[in-house]
Chain A
Amino acid sequence: MEKRNNLKAWLYLAPLLILMGIFIFYPLINAFYISILEEYRPLAPGGATATGYTLSNFARILNDELFWQAIKNTFVVAFISVPISILISLVIAVSLNSIPKLKALYQTVFFLPYVTNAIAIGMAFAFMFHKDYGLINLMLSWLGIDPVNWVGNVATWWAQMGALLVYTIWGGLAFKILVFTSGLQNIDKQYYDAAKIDSASKWTVFRRITVPLLSPFILYISITSMIGALKAYRTVIGLFGERLGAQQNSMITIVAYVYKYRSAYQDVSAISYAASAAIILFFITVVFSLIQGVVSRKRVHY
C-alpha cells in the first residue's frame, strides 16, 4: 500500500538522530573507551593524550574505600526506600479508589512532591531534622523519645540514613500513587463485585485481586524506582549540601562518586575513574532490571 520513503523519513529523523549521535551514542561508546585509557588527559594543552590501554582505572575504583561507601549507601537507600514506598503508595492508591468523594483533592496533594525542586525541599527537610529547632525531634518528644541528632556534625550513620530515607520515600510516593491509581481504574469492576458476593475480607481482596491484577504496574514501578534509587544524588545534595553527609562524604552515593571527579577533569586519569564508576553503575542497573524481569516472568499476571 504505502511505498517506502527512505530518504524522506531520514530527513524527518535527522534533527533527533544528529543530536543523539553527538550527545548520547558517541558519549556512551566513548565512556567505555576512556575507562580503559591509561593516563588520559582530555584537556591537555595541544589536545588529549594517553599512554595506552589499561584496566587499572577499574582496579583503582574497586580499591577505593569511598567507592564501597558509596555502594553501601546507595544499596541501603534502594533496598529500604523502594519496597516501603511501593507498599505505602499501593495502600494509598487502594484507599483513594474506595472513596467516592474528595478523590481529586487528595490526589492533588499527594502529587505535590513530584513538582517541587529536590534541592529546595531537601533543605526544608534538613531543617525539619535539625536537632534543636526541628519539627521531627519535637514530634518525637511528644512520644517521649529523646532528641536525635539526625543531620548535625556528629550524627551517626543510621541517623543520617534515616533522614535520607524519610526524604527519599516522601519524594517517591507521588509518581507511584499516580501510576497505581490509573492502574486500578483499568481493573474490571466485576472482580470486586464477585468478591463482595463471597463477602471476602478487604485484606483478601487486596491480596487476591488487587495485587495480582496490578502486578504489571508493580513490576514497572519496581524497576523504574529501583533504577531511580540507584541514581540517588539530588536528595543527598538537598539534605546535606556538597559535603554529601553530616561528615564529609558520609552519605556519598554512586552518582555523587562519579561527579566527585568533575572538578578535577584537568588531572591525569580523573575522567577515566569517573567513567569506570559510571560504567559499574550502568551494569548494576542492568543486572537489577534483568533480575526483576526474570522474577516477573514467574509472578506477573497479565
Chain B
Amino acid sequence: MAEIFVENEKAYKRRRLISNIVTFGFLSLVAIGILIPFYWMILTSLKSIQEIESVPPILWLNFSDWKITNYTDLFLTVQSGERAGEPLFPFFTYMKNTVLISFLTTLGTIITTILAAFAFARLNFKGKDTLFAVLLATMMVPGEIFILTNFLTINQFGWYDILTQTYTEAVLAMTIPFMISVFYVFYLRQTFRKIPDELYFAAKVDGTSDFKYLLKIMIPIAMPTIVTIIILNSMGAWSAYIWPAMVTTQDKYRLVSNGLRGAFTDTTGRTDYGQQMAAATLVTVPLIILFFTFRKQIMRGVGRSGIKG
C-alpha cells in the first residue's frame, strides 16, 4: 500500500513539473506577444530611415546605434502649409491641454460623484431606488447618441465658434459634459454603505451636520476608493479623441490623441514611420509611468468594475 503511494507521489510530482513548464511557457509566450508592439514602437523610433526601410527588418539596435533625431525632429518648426510656424508635433502643448482637461474633469467628476453617492448611500428620499435604476440604465446607452446633441448644446452655449473660440471656451466644452460618471457613483456608494450606521447616529447625537459628517468621516474612510476613481478618471483624457476634435477650432487646443494620426504623412502620402513612432512613444510613456506608480489602485479599481455589486 505504502509503495503504491510513493509511486503515485513520484508520478504526481513529475506530472506537476511538466504542467508547470507548459504553463510558464504559455504565459511567457503571451507576455512576449503583449510586449512586442511596445518594443517595435520604441525600436522603430530609434532607427534611422535606412534602418527602418531595411529588408528584412532589423530586430535589435545596440545602444550606441540609437538615434534620437526622430524625437528632436518632432519639435522642429513646420516651414509651410497651414501649420507653418508650429512644431511638427506640438507635444508639450498637447500635454499641457491633456493634463489640464484631465485635472478639471476629474475634479468635477469627483465632486458630483461624492455628493450623489452620499445621497444614495446615506440619505432617505422618495423614489431613491427608481432613480438609481434609471441612472444605471443610462450606462447601457452608447455615447454616440449623446454626442450629436451635445455638440449642438455646446454651440448654443456659445463655446464653439469657428472664428472666435477662446481657450477657456474650448476647455469648458471639453470638460463640463464629462463631469459625470454613473459608474463611479455606483462604485463609491458601495464603499459608503459599508461604513457602520452607528458612526452616523453617534455623529447626529453630537449635533454634526450631514455635510460635516460626509467631509470629516465618510470621505476619509472611503479615501482608497476615491483615489482609485481619481486615477482611473484622469487617464480618460489621454484616450479622448473624437470629442476634443469636434469641439475645438484650433490645433493648439487639442489633446495628445488628436495630434498623432495624420501629422507624419506628407502630401505625397509618404509616412515618416520613425517620427510617427517617436510621437507614439512620447504619448505612451506618461501613461505607463502613471500605471507603474499606481499599479495596485488601477488594477483594483478596474477589477472591481468586473465584479457584480
| Chain A positions near chain B (C-beta within 8 angstroms) | 2-6, 8-10, 12-17, 19-20, 22-28, 30-31, 34, 42-43, 88, 91-92, 95-96, 98-99, 102, 106-121, 123-125, 127-128, 130, 132-135, 138, 141, 170, 173, 175, 178-179, 181-183, 202, 216-217, 220-221, 227, 230-231, 233-234, 237-238, 241-242, 255, 258-259, 262, 265, 271, 274-275, 278-279, 281-282, 285-286, 289
Contact flags (1/0) for B1-20 with A, using CB distance below 8 Å? 00000000000000000011
> Known contacts A127-B44, A135-B36; is A23 also within 8 Å of B153 by CB?
yes
| In the complex, chain B residues whose CB is within 8 Å of the CB of A130 | 273
In the bound complex, do residue B125 and residue A4 qualify as a contact, i.e. CB atoms below 8 Å apart?
A: yes
> Known contacts A124-B277, A262-B151; is A5 also within 8 Å of B308 by CB?
no
Contact of A117 among B138, B147, B242, B256 (CB under 8 A): B256
| In the complex, chain A residues whose CB is within 8 Å of the CB of B149 | 26-27, 30-31, 34
In the bound complex, do residue B144 and residue A121 qualify as a contact, i.e. CB atoms below 8 Å apart?
A: no
| A-B contact list, 17 entries, CB within 8 Å | A9-B124, A19-B177, A19-B180, A24-B141, A42-B155, A111-B302, A116-B284, A119-B260, A120-B283, A121-B37, A123-B260, A141-B56, A183-B306, A242-B261, A275-B148, A278-B148, A281-B142
Residue in B closest to A239 when the chains form the complex, CB atoms: B261
Cβ distance B174 to chain A, nearest Cβ, rounded Å? 13
| In the complex, chain A residues whose CB is within 8 Å of the CB of B35 | 109, 112
| In the complex, chain B residues whose CB is within 8 Å of the CB of A31 | 145-146, 148-149
Residue in A closest to B182 when the chains form the complex, CB atoms: A20
| In the complex, chain B residues whose CB is within 8 Å of the CB of A202 | 19
Contact of A6 among B44, B115, B126, B280 (CB under 8 A): B126
Residue in A closest to B269 when the chains form the complex, CB atoms: A153
Interface residue? B199 (CB, 8 A): no
A120 to B282, CA, bound (A): 9
- The count of residues in chain B whose C-beta lies closer than 8 Å to any C-beta of chain A is 92
Residue in A closest to B113 when the chains form the complex, CB atoms: A16
A4 to B118, CA, bound (A): 14
In the bound complex, do residue A123 and residue B277 qualify as a contact, i.e. CB atoms below 8 Å apart?
A: yes
In the bound complex, do residue B241 and residue A119 qualify as a contact, i.e. CB atoms below 8 Å apart?
A: yes
A199 to B290, CA, bound (A): 45
Residue in A closest to B286 when the chains form the complex, CB atoms: A117
| In the complex, chain A residues whose CB is within 8 Å of the CB of B20 | 99
> Known contacts A99-B23, A121-B37, A134-B57; is A271 also within 8 Å of B152 by CB?
yes
In the bound complex, do residue B146 and residue A28 qualify as a contact, i.e. CB atoms below 8 Å apart?
A: yes
| In the complex, chain A residues whose CB is within 8 Å of the CB of B290 | 115
Contact flags (1/0) for B269-301 with A, using CB distance below 8 Å? 000010011011101100110110001001100
Residue in A closest to B119 when the chains form the complex, CB atoms: A12
A241 to B116, CA, bound (A): 39
Residue in B closest to A186 when the chains form the complex, CB atoms: B307
Contact of A135 among B40, B138, B185 (CB under 8 A): B40
> Known contacts A120-B280, A123-B276; is A110 also within 8 Å of B34 by CB?
yes
In the bound complex, do residue A16 and residue B185 qualify as a contact, i.e. CB atoms below 8 Å apart?
A: yes
In the bound complex, do residue A12 and residue B277 qualify as a contact, i.e. CB atoms below 8 Å apart?
A: no
> Known contacts A10-B125, A124-B280; is A116 also within 8 Å of B288 by CB?
yes
Residue in B closest to A18 when the chains form the complex, CB atoms: B112
Q: Enumerate B116-162 residues with CB–CB distance to A below 8 Å.
A: 116, 118-119, 123-126, 128, 131, 135, 138, 140-142, 144-153, 155
| Chain B positions near chain A (C-beta within 8 angstroms) | 19-20, 23-24, 26-27, 30-31, 33-38, 40-41, 44, 52-57, 59, 111-113, 115-116, 118-119, 123-126, 128, 131, 135, 138, 140-142, 144-153, 155, 176-177, 179-180, 182, 185, 210, 235, 238-239, 241-242, 246, 256-257, 260-262, 265, 273, 276-277, 279-281, 283-284, 287-288, 290-291, 295, 298-299, 302-303, 306-308
In the bound complex, do residue A265 and residue B283 qualify as a contact, i.e. CB atoms below 8 Å apart?
A: no
Residue in B closest to A125 when the chains form the complex, CB atoms: B37
Among A8, A133, A242, A265, the one with the most B-chain Cβ atoms within 10 Å of its Cβ is A133
Further contacts, 20 of them, CB under 8 A, given A120-B283, A128-B40: A4-B126, A19-B180, A27-B146, A31-B146, A109-B31, A111-B298, A111-B302, A124-B40, A130-B273, A141-B56, A178-B302, A178-B303, A179-B307, A216-B308, A231-B144, A237-B261, A241-B262, A242-B262, A262-B246, A271-B148
A274 to B20, CA, bound (A): 53
| In the complex, chain B residues whose CB is within 8 Å of the CB of A13 | 115-116, 119, 131
A231 to B142, CA, bound (A): 8
In the bound complex, do residue B306 and residue A178 qualify as a contact, i.e. CB atoms below 8 Å apart?
A: yes
In the bound complex, do residue B23 and residue A98 qualify as a contact, i.e. CB atoms below 8 Å apart?
A: yes
| In the complex, chain A residues whose CB is within 8 Å of the CB of B277 | 123-124, 127
| In the complex, chain A residues whose CB is within 8 Å of the CB of B256 | 117
Cβ distance B9 to chain A, nearest Cβ, rounded Å? 13
Cβ distance A205 to chain B, nearest Cβ, rounded Å? 12
Among B24, B176, B279, B306, the one with the most A-chain Cβ atoms within 10 Å of its Cβ is B306
| In the complex, chain B residues whose CB is within 8 Å of the CB of A111 | 291, 298-299, 302
A19 to B295, CA, bound (A): 31
In the bound complex, do residue B138 and residue A133 qualify as a contact, i.e. CB atoms below 8 Å apart?
A: no
A220 to B303, CA, bound (A): 13
In the bound complex, do residue A12 and residue B116 qualify as a contact, i.e. CB atoms below 8 Å apart?
A: yes
